[in-house]
Amino acid sequence: MNDRTQAGEQSQQGSASPSTPQPEESLQNDPPCYNPMDGFQADDRFEHAQDRQEPLPSLKPLPAPPEQQPFYRRNPVTLAFALLLVAFYGLTSFPNGFESPTRLALGLGAFYGPAVQDGQWWRFITATLMHGYPGHLFNNVVGILIFGNLLEPVIGHFRLIGLYWVAAVSGLALVYWLQPNVPTLGASTIDYGLIGAYLTLILLLRYQYDRSAFIREFRGAILFVLMFVAWNWLESATVSLWGHVGGLLGGTAYGLLIWMNRAKAKQSTVG
């Protein structure tokens, strides 16, 4: 019995694989422990664990929400267009001491129906960049900055550029139709286009997602717009009524178009 037991034990020892790692060897081959607070940390049992440490990958910080970003990052198109208006006024008025554009600039850039009939279609663009005097420029730049700040984070940069173009063309097209012989200039058509898009798009979004606050914000928006319009009309010596109306109608239609496209895209996603 004893001989057989000893033989069995010797056979079991002989069948064991000599390559099986011992406990001390397996501990040395294990990876270092990971502490979520401090990164990779060496266990006290590892003599050379510091040599095997690997740094954690660097993580880029998340971008700040739009409302926390600086103005120039949140509204690059709005800021660029406002600076363009100031620069264009400086270029066209510096020979007159920045009091008003030169006769040459007015003759080449202001919107005038008979000149447009002769093929000078560039006046649809240059007329919106020109202003008659510093107060005229100041009013329109303030409107661009205020309403552009409200719209650009919502509709995006390229759609805002499209809104500028639609408001300018629709306002001057109405002037061309109803007052073709009256020279017109200024970015107020774009201001009123921004107002039209704001009143339709922003308020429709508010009505859809937070109807309890819709009435309060609608009253506040109407009051704010009326104050801006009254200030604009009282300050300006001459106001292009049809230019403002045309810009307002164009901006309203543009805002509704964006709204319908978003609603259609949402329905297709849900369906």
- What is the band of 42 on the pLDDT scale with cuts at 50, 70, 90? very low
111 and 164 belong to one structural domain: yes
Q: Annotate 62-95 with b (16+ C-beta within 10 A) or e (fewer).
A: eeeeeeeeeeeebbebbbebbeebeebbeebbee
Please indicate, yes or no, whether residues 110 and 180 belong to a single structural domain of this protein.
yes
Nearest to 250, CA basis, from 167, 135, 143: 167
Looking at the structure, tell me whether residues 199 and 240 fall in a common domain.
yes
On whether the CB atoms of residues 266 and 211 are closer than 8 A, the answer is no
Among candidates 167, 214, 173, 172, which has minimal Cα distance to 195? 167
What pTM does this model have?
Answer: 0.70
Q: Are residues 139 and 32 in the same domain?
A: no
Chain centroid to CA 83: 17
User: Please, what is the average pLDDT of the chain?
Assistant: 77
Question: How many separate domains does the chain show?
Answer: 2
Range of the domain at 46: 20-59
Residue 26 has pLDDT above 50, yes or no: no
Q: Which of 6, 32, 59 is the last residue of a domain?
A: 59
Let me know whether 97 and 188 are in one domain. Answer: yes
For 126, 133, 169, the CA distances from 113, given in Å and listed in that order, are 14, 22, 13
* Domain-ending residue, one of 31, 59, 87: 59
Write the pLDDT tens digit of every residue in 129-151: 999 999 889 989 999 999 999 89
Give the tens place of pLDDT for each residue, 207-227. 776 666 666 667 777 777 787
Cα dihedral value 98, 104, 108, 110, nearest 10: 50
**Cβ proximity of 175 and 130 under 8 Å:** no
Which CATH number covers residue 169?
1.20.1540.10
Domain-embedded: residue 131: yes
Alpha-carbon separation of residue 3 from 6, 12, 154, 271 (angstroms):
5, 14, 91, 82
Indicate whether 211 and 143 sit together in one domain.
Answer: yes
Residue 225 lies in a domain: yes
